[in-house]
Amino acid sequence: MSSDSPDLPATEGGRSPLPYGRQSVSEEDIAAVVDVLRGDWLTTGPAVTRFEAALGACAQAPAVVVSSGTAALHTAYAAAGIGPGDEVVTSPMTFVATAAAATMLGATVVFADIEPDTGNLDVEAAAAAVTVSTAVIAAVDYAGHPVEADALAALAGDSGALFIEDAAHSIGGSWHGRQVGSLADLTTFSFYPTKNLTTAEGGAVTGSDPELLGRARRFRNHGLVRERDHLRHPDEGGWHQEVHELGLNYRLPDVLCALGISQLARLGEFKRRRTHIVAAYNAAFTDLDSVSTPPCRQGADPAWHLYPLRVHDGRRRALYDALRGQGILAQVNYVPVHWHPVYEDLGYRRGMCPRAEEFYAQQLSLPLFPAMDDNDVERVVSTVRAFFRRP
């Protein structure tokens, strides 16, 4: 289960708990899924092709759909060909999957520190972490705010590395007028329920290099090759298929692609509502000395997945507990990845990325999802403001 799973305790004081994120599933979404269930294809069929086409149009780059955001990262790193001896420079301010998928391929993860405002990988810190062994620079669009994509692409290019953008948070966002999905060599998406659109579990990889994307496409399906022109033994028979490079089963079924197509058509509506709520929070907290609100850099059009409030007076934990006590299920995103015992055991130490560690100490994700109405937003605002009125 992802760290993002919404946990909904029993209703308190007559008011429904407000999770920090939640899916919006309409009757049209349900009808689209039911339609596929009644048809001939449950797994890889026409809905996969249609979802990939729709995602490609949204991301301005061809897409391969996979079974989760984690699968998308594993697929992207495998397509990049990383393995033992390679280094992957990435941010610790992310869900563990960004690093874990690279570690599981045998590569060494090198954590570089973040920009203190956005929480995204800092270009200078990434540059300082590059060595001759760097094979990938993997940056995360934290909370939905795009990374400094041009500078990171240039750094990767100069370093002989690939630039992978973990856009689990940011589908529908853009950077200087270009869509997230078209900015990096490979971009990965997650369609987990709290994300900006959902297929229950699901994900995608986009990229404009046909060779890289072809490797991703094969990796998702056991590495199977079926095209006669590419077979090593073409005369084996009409049934013949071959594996040239190993892969896994990361296929996203037609049933879930139908949900994805229907959700993607609603992404604009979701993004507008999320943007509106973020603006309402920003305006409501601007006069509070103890907190800061998420920044938006010039050229960025974020697709806000999280609302990362920063608490500067040392009371983040107390605020978390106070909100939870009122049924407002705030979350902390994220424990720096190098703090996880699995990375501690590999020799990574606290203090390695001080800006990310300070960010973590201050961060609290307030509820943000399209189905929140204005009363829900006001409930969060008044509870936060009441907390800071207390000594």
Ligand X SMILES: Cc1ncc(COP(=O)(O)O)c(C=O)c1O
Selected from 4, 29, 115, 148, the binder of ligand X by CB under 6 A is 4
User: According to the binding rule CB under 6 A, does residue 95 interact with ligand X?
Assistant: yes
CB 119, min distance to ligand X, A: 11
- Residues written for the chain: 391
Nearer residue to ligand X within complex by CB, 96 or 123: 96
* Interacting positions 5-24 with ligand X (CB under 6 A): none
> CA 212 to CA 187: how far, in whole Å?
11
CB of 332 to ligand X, least distance (A): 13
Q: Are 303 and 172 in contact (CB under 8 A)?
A: yes
Instruction: Please state, in angstroms and rounded to a whole number, the distance separating the CA atoms of residues 83 and 106.
Output: 5
Sole window of 130-138, 148-156, 162-170, 232-240 interacting with ligand X (rule: CB under 6 A): 162-170
Neighbours of 222 (CB within 10 A): 16
* DSSP H or E run through 243: strand 242-243
What's the min distance (Å) between Cβ of 6 and ligand X? 12
d(CA 33, CA 49): 15
Q: Which stretch binds ligand X (CB under 6 A): 91-99, 130-138, 143-151, 253-261?
A: 91-99
Name the segment binding ligand X (CB under 6 A); options: 39-47, 68-76, 213-221, 258-266. 68-76
Is position 166 an interface residue for ligand X (rule: CB under 6 A)? yes
Reading the block at residue 373, the tokens are 């109405």
User: Which tokens hold the place of 213?
Assistant: 């994307």
Q: Does 2 bind ligand X (CB under 6 A)?
A: yes
Smaller CB distance to ligand X: residue 251 or 315? 251
Q: Is the dihedral of CA 326, 328, 334, 340 positive or negative?
A: positive
CB of 68 to ligand X, least distance (A): 4
Q: Is 75 in the site for ligand X (CB under 6 A)?
A: no
**How far, in Å, CA of 63 to CA of 74, rounded?**
15
User: Binding of ligand X at residue 118 (CB under 6 A)?
Assistant: no
Q: Is 206 in the site for ligand X (CB under 6 A)?
A: no
- In terms of CB distance, is 98 or 206 closer to ligand X? 98
Cα of first residue to Cα of last residue in the chain, in angstroms, is: 38
Which one of 23, 187, 190, 221 is in contact with ligand X (CB under 6 A)?
190
Tokens in use for 335? 């424990």
User: Binding of ligand X at residue 68 (CB under 6 A)?
Assistant: yes
Q: From the CB of 305, what's the least distance to ligand X, in Å?
A: 8
Assess 159 for contact with ligand X (CB under 6 A): no
Give least dist CB 101 to ligand X, A. Answer: 8
Answer yes or no whether residue 94 interacts with ligand X by CB under 6 A.
yes
By beta-carbon proximity to ligand X, the closer residue of 87 and 166 is 166
User: What number of CA atoms fall less than 13 Å from residue 53's CA on the CB side?
Assistant: 6
Q: Residue 336 interacts with ligand X (CB under 6 A)?
A: no
Q: How far is the CB of 4 from ligand X (least distance, A)?
A: 4
* Nearest one of 263, 234, 280 to 65, comparing CA atoms: 263
**Interface with ligand X in residues 167-186 (CB under 6 A):** 168-169
Q: Identity (one letter) of the amino acid at 128?
A: A
Q: Look at residues 183, 184, 188, 152 and name the one whose alpha carbon lies nearest to residue 63.
A: 188
Q: Scan residues 120-149 and list those touching ligand X (CB under 6 A).
A: 140
Per-position DSSP letters for 335-362, written without gaps between them: --GGGSHHHHTTT--TTSSHHHHHHHHH
70 lies in the site for ligand X, by CB under 6 A: yes
Q: Which of 181, 327 has the CB closer to ligand X?
A: 181
What is the distance of C-alpha 203 from the center of its chain? 9
Residue number closest to ligand X, CB atom:
69
Q: Tell the residue number behind the tokens 């509106």, with chain if given.
A: 276
**Residue 98 binding ligand X, by CB under 6 A:** yes
| Total site size for ligand X, rule CB under 6 A | 17
Q: Are 284 and 381 in contact (CB under 8 A)?
A: yes
Note whether 203 binds ligand X by CB under 6 A: yes
Cα 124 to Cα 345: distance, rounded to the nearest angstrom: 27
Antiparallel, parallel or unpaired: β 174-175 and 300-301: antiparallel
Q: Residues in the site for ligand X, rule: CB under 6 A?
A: 2-4, 68-70, 94-95, 97-98, 140, 166, 168-169, 190, 192, 203
